Structure 1
Amino acid sequence: MTIFQQVSQDRSADEVAHQIEGLILEGVLRPGDQLPGERELATELGISRPVVREAIETLVASHILHRRQGDGTFVGDIIGQVFSDPIATLLPHHRKATHDYLEYRREVEGIAAGMAAERATGYDRDMLHQCIERMQSAHERQDFAEEAKVDLEFHSLIGEMAHNLVLLHTLRSCYKLLSEGIFQNRSRLYEKPGARQALFDQHMAIAGEIQAGNREAASKAARDHMSYVMEKSLELDNEAERERISSLRFKKREH
């Protein structure tokens, strides 16, 4: 099954490039995905290889696609950044930044979950079901790394299911900060007693309301989930600060 639509032979390379851009913008093609080879892509689009080659060259020049010598053509890392690099460097060192980041996500993910419940297609619901199955499997195996990975995919998928391009890419940009290690709260949360089960149950609740098409309930479940993450993150920060202060007192008295 191909994701590309055939175009008439008189179509230009610009129109082929536009179709590929649309697939990237809609989240069908993701950063790092490999495109079919020129011959295969020309067959799927129903046009000549020179037209495909010209379209790809245009997208490579725009940094939307990139080539790896001997490997092929891939979707570039085009997810935008909410913050510039200097600001992103400062964020981990200021506690308020973590709170504000989570607060922002709470409101935006509430909107996304509500839209997803209202707009999800059958394909969307199937993908959500598969994601939940993977999450449940990782949870039962106590595979913390896999569970955290699927956790991020779960939230990204809900952004896709909202079918709003600006919302999708805003959320992806936020999640990029997590994947790059700017905010580390989720891995720390898994270490807190009872947190893994609570997070898992909250994800199940969000998915259940989306699958049922309950907009308001899905939105509330998503906001409640992020409120929990905010609360526990604050507890962890406070615990870390108490540990820091007590260790300083201990070292002082040793001398």
Structure 2
Amino acid sequence: MALTDDAIEKIKAMIVSGELRPGDRLPPEKELAEHLGLSRNSLREAVKALEIIRVLDVRRGDGTYVTSLEPHLLLEAISFVIDMHDDDSLLELFAVRRMLESQAAGIAAQAASDEQSRALIDEVASIDAETVTVDDLVAHDVRFHSDIVRLTGNGYLLSLVESLSSRTIRARVWRGLTEQDAVERTISEHRAIAEAIAQHDSALATSLATAHVAGIERWLRQATSA
């Protein structure tokens, strides 16, 4: 295993240094093994491992290429791990969301243009608490949180938060169906966060986002212990 790890590190170093770029085709196996001072066996195992985590794309009969290295590709392995967790892990997932999304809201408040801020406020205003269905509310919730993280300009953070968010949808539907005033509370909290971002108040946006996700954690903790 140590030899395979060494091979992985050497290929990674070629990518990090720019010797191999996204979309580049790797040299033939024999040539690359000699260049890196590896056995062809170790190189082959390293390529398999890097293919699994979407760093390399092995095209049968064509060659092996560096993928686009886009965040959504590289974070697929994390999505798989999240999907394999059971409901007992939901509180931990929400805790991670709280930590990441509160900071994202603070950054968004610094970075958002007037147009982007208005779009966020309009998203909240598009939801009518009197008529919205639970499914529509959850769809809005997903859009709203993704839009905030998107404002940070960090593609890796966006992909990670969206992976976490998709795993918590069932709990959000459950809350919407069972908690009194959940719809009104969600819309009100979203509106406050959006307004803090529009006012470029980073500290307030961070605090409001923290309290917002923490409220869902508190509800979930009570619901699962009942």
CA contact (8 A) 2:107 2:152 kept: yes
Distance 1:122 1:100, change over 3 A: same
- For 2:146, the equivalent position in structure 1 comes to 156
| Shift in Å, 1:236 | 1.3
* Alpha-carbon distance in structure 2 between the residues aligned to 1:84 and 1:206: 27
CA contact (8 A) 2:102 2:206 kept: yes
| Shift in Å, 1:79 | 7.8
CA contact (8 A) 1:82 1:170 kept: no
* Residue 134 (1) aligns with residue 126 (2): yes
- For 2:171, the equivalent position in structure 1 comes to 185
Amino acid at match of 1:80: L
| Shift in Å, 1:90 | 4.0
| Shift in Å, 1:118 | 0.6
Q: Deviations over 1:82-137 (max 9, x none)?
A: 6363x4454124x2x111101111111110000000110123113212211223x3
Question: Which one of 193, 198, 219 corresponds to residue 232 of structure 1?
Answer: 219
TM-score by length of 2: 0.63
Q: Deviations over 1:13-69 (max 9, x none)?
A: xxxxx9xxxxxxxxxxxxxxxxxxxxxxxxxxxxxxxxxxxxxxxxxx9887xxxxx
| Shift in Å, 1:164 | 2.4
* Alpha-carbon distance in structure 1 between the residues aligned to 2:217 and 2:139: 19
Structure 1 runs (4+) deviating above 6 angstroms are 61-64
* Alpha-carbon distance in structure 2 between the residues aligned to 1:195 and 1:176: 19
CA contact (8 A) 2:138 2:173 kept: yes
Question: Which one of 110, 116, 124 corresponds to residue 102 of structure 2?
Answer: 110
- For 1:215, the equivalent position in structure 2 comes to 202
* Residue 83 (1) aligns with residue 69 (2): no
* Alpha-carbon distance in structure 2 between the residues aligned to 1:174 and 1:90: 12
Other structure's SS at 1:149 match: helix
* Alpha-carbon distance in structure 2 between the residues aligned to 1:150 and 1:112: 18
1:92-111 correspondence runs (5 A): 92-93=86-87, 95=88, 97-111=89-103
1:12-27 correspondence runs (5 A): none
Other structure's SS at 1:163 match: coil
| Shift in Å, 1:223 | 0.2
CA contact (8 A) 1:79 1:172 kept: no
- For 2:159, the equivalent position in structure 1 comes to 169
Q: Which runs of 5+ in 2 are unaligned?
A: 1-21, 23-64
CA contact (8 A) 1:102 1:226 kept: yes
- For 1:244, the equivalent position in structure 2 comes to none
1:40-79 correspondence runs (5 A): 78=73
* Alpha-carbon distance in structure 2 between the residues aligned to 1:201 and 1:105: 19
Distance 1:227 1:173, change over 3 A: same
Percent identity over the alignment is 19
* Alpha-carbon distance in structure 2 between the residues aligned to 1:115 and 1:121: 12
Q: Deviations over 1:154-190 (max 9, x none)?
A: 0000001122233222212222334xxxx52101111
* Alpha-carbon distance in structure 2 between the residues aligned to 1:134 and 1:172: 22
CA contact (8 A) 1:209 1:217 kept: yes
Q: Which has the higher contact order (CA 8 A, sep 6+)?
A: 2
- For 2:185, the equivalent position in structure 1 comes to 198
Amino acid at match of 2:187: F
Distance 1:200 1:175, change over 3 A: same
Question: Which one of 119, 136, 146 corresponds to residue 146 of structure 1?
Answer: 136
Aligned CA RMSD, in angstroms, stands at 2.5
